[in-house]
Chain A
């Protein structure tokens, strides 16, 4: 009986989290030993750099915001069984379209400028998701590969405009667009860079969770993911659902992009995402595509990554140490879940 209890706990959400965390700490400790540092010291410095004071905490929240949205952008297609890694490119293209809107549409000023900019960014993200979706539904081209490939194109398009046509002549060689006007920025809080995008992301997570678990539409996604042929018997069309979840996901990633650009950075710059799209993918896997669990997981990963600069100062290691930690976290999660699922089979 005891072993049955242990096993059922290990397979519960909390048990999985606990085991994954243990596996991650083991791997991270091994890495710290490998680079000749005390694991305990490094882990405590990491915690200090991530959430040690008010500034670190708010910076972690800032970093977590686009990751949260990108994780939702990954989880939504995943509910249909699609493995989209396109959040990174959708984020860039959303930022590009949103910025273009602000730079060009001087007519839309005043209170409408902010919402219309956000909508433009979401439209951009959705548009960037359209190509892989159509390739998948029309030609059966694997969406993981196509989304990965066009990520680079979106990032390069942003680089192109900030070096070229949209470059702010006043920025003296620094490749960036002109600053966003004040009323095209989201509200910020706590006297920090934490902005309303965080609340929007959390609200979307709750709403998405309700829709996915309580409604007929969410049930339809479950059926199509579990067995597309059963979906046909239920009168459901895979293509339409794929289009819906991919475009909605793209819109969320686009929102992440334009919010980050307009509010945190204040202007469009090259390589501004810091891999938020990929971190979002990791978060979605951590949360097993459960929209509510994505919120704390996004904060966890955001905090881990935000600690990079702090680690450089506190521990005198390159800030990419947190990138290694992120990779180890993903490996730990996959390994733990894989082993638990394998035992269940």
Chain B
């Protein structure tokens, strides 16, 4: 297999599909962190979203219902983070881990009966004949509704953050809650809203993961995607526009590891699975080496640097 084959024979679409769940989570976490709150519970929200979406799809046979259920479940779990962090001012990292543990437990508990069940999921959004088009045919043919949604959510969230009064207030709260309050915003309320929106998007990401990407349910199936997302927010410099390339980076690493596995049996699959994490950590390190973290919201820097 040549490098050219890697790109054309579906590499791009598998990177895109792998990046889809992450994009939702990443955009959500970016918006949350913009208000000065970090949420490690993302991992648990992905799991709960994935489990609920899978259960709903299995029960009703409609993947759209699954997406809705996943989004609601993710938001519901993130309410725990909101209550702990905004309500009782608990440590953000610890609270996120608590939400993760809870989400892991709940999804494992309710998901135990779902293991091995099959579902009907999304079809490609275009007719099969498109796949025969040269170069990009296979990419377009592989597009499912969740991929399209993920691609759309990026500009929407960017416009939301940069061009609306709400986005302006969110950014102000992330920079300085006191000054934002003086300007008439309610920092606590805004942070709760941002955490819940992050929860909704990560739940959607979980749904995309189980219902569309893997089309199975397994305990702990998000495998660190949520934590990777928290790291990639920094790489994307808290800018929604940059979340998509950052997510593609992870997706590309995962797709590459799957490609290499099928191409060359000598490289261990388990070793290759390290690739996305190592790549994320490496690019995160590179971001810091180049000193690009100065764009962090000031309120968030206070949390992360202590």
Q: Which residue of A lies closest to B88 (CB)?
A: A338
18 inter-chain pairs at a CB distance below 8 angstroms, sorted by A residue, are A139-B289, A142-B305, A145-B230, A145-B231, A148-B40, A148-B224, A149-B277, A149-B281, A153-B274, A163-B270, A278-B101, A282-B98, A320-B219, A326-B101, A327-B98, A327-B105, A334-B90, A334-B91
Query: Does residue B60 face the partner (Cβ distance < 8 Å to A)?
Result: no
Query: Does residue B165 face the partner (Cβ distance < 8 Å to A)?
Result: no
| CB atoms of B90 and A337 under 8 A apart | yes
| CB atoms of B98 and A330 under 8 A apart | yes
| CB atoms of A327 and B108 under 8 A apart | no
| CB atoms of B268 and A285 under 8 A apart | no
Query: Does residue A328 face the partner (Cβ distance < 8 Å to B)?
Result: yes
Partner of B227 from the list A140, A145, A327 (CB cut-off 8 Å) is A145
| CB atoms of B97 and A330 under 8 A apart | yes
Partner of B101 from the list A140, A141, A327, A342 (CB cut-off 8 Å) is A327
Q: Which residue of B lies closest to A326 (CB)?
A: B101
Bound Cα distance from A146 to B278, whole angstroms? 10
Stretch at the interface among A100-108, A154-162, A203-211, A261-269: A154-162
Known: A156-B270, A278-B101. A335 touches B83 (CB 8 A): yes
Residues on the B chain within 8 Å of A321, using CB: 105, 109
| CB atoms of A325 and B105 under 8 A apart | yes
| CB atoms of B102 and A140 under 8 A apart | no
B residues bordering A, Cβ < 8 Å?
Answer: 40, 44, 80, 83-84, 87-91, 93-95, 97-99, 101-106, 108-109, 112, 219, 223-224, 227-228, 230-231, 234, 268, 270-271, 273-274, 277-278, 280-281, 284-285, 288-289, 293, 304-306
| CB atoms of B108 and A323 under 8 A apart | yes
| CB atoms of B227 and A148 under 8 A apart | yes
**Other 9 A-B pairs with CB < 8 A, given A149-B280, A334-B91, A337-B88:** A85-B93, A149-B228, A153-B277, A163-B270, A317-B109, A324-B102, A327-B98, A335-B83, A338-B88
Partner of A327 from the list B102, B230, B231, B268 (CB cut-off 8 Å) is B102
Q: Which residue of A lies closest to B276 (CB)?
A: A152
| CB atoms of A324 and B106 under 8 A apart | yes
Known: A81-B306, A281-B97, A331-B84. A149 touches B285 (CB 8 A): no
Residues on the B chain within 8 Å of A81, using CB: 306
Residues on the A chain within 8 Å of B271, using CB: 156-157, 160, 164
Bound Cα distance from A317 to B268, whole angstroms? 37
Residues on the A chain within 8 Å of B99, using CB: 327, 331
Query: Does residue A135 face the partner (Cβ distance < 8 Å to B)?
Result: yes
Secondary structure call for the A interface: helix
Residues on the B chain within 8 Å of A112, using CB: none
| CB atoms of B80 and A331 under 8 A apart | yes
Bound Cα distance from A159 to B269, whole angstroms? 10
Known: A141-B288, A149-B224. A318 touches B112 (CB 8 A): yes
Q: Which residue of A lies closest to B270 (CB)?
A: A160
Partner of A142 from the list B97, B219, B277, B304 (CB cut-off 8 Å) is B304
Residues on the B chain within 8 Å of A282, using CB: 97-98, 101
Q: Which residue of A lies closest to B271 (CB)?
A: A160
Residues on the A chain within 8 Å of B40, using CB: 144, 148
Bound Cα distance from A159 to B223, whole angstroms? 14
Q: How far is the CB of B73 from chain A (nearest CB, A)?
A: 14
Q: How far is the CB of B256 from chain A (nearest CB, A)?
A: 15
| CB atoms of B108 and A164 under 8 A apart | no
Q: Which residue of B lies closest to A285 (CB)?
A: B94
Query: Does residue A233 face the partner (Cβ distance < 8 Å to B)?
Result: no
Query: Does residue A150 face the partner (Cβ distance < 8 Å to B)?
Result: yes
| CB atoms of B274 and A323 under 8 A apart | no
| CB atoms of B268 and A163 under 8 A apart | yes
| CB atoms of A331 and B281 under 8 A apart | no
Q: Which residue of A lies closest to B96 (CB)?
A: A144
Residues on the B chain within 8 Å of A328, using CB: 102
Known: A141-B284, A324-B105, A328-B102. A152 touches B231 (CB 8 A): no
Residues on the B chain within 8 Å of A142, using CB: 304-305
Known: A145-B231, A334-B84. A327 touches B274 (CB 8 A): no
Residues from 327 to 345 in A contacting B, C-beta threshold 8 Å: 327-328, 330-331, 334-335, 337-339, 341-342
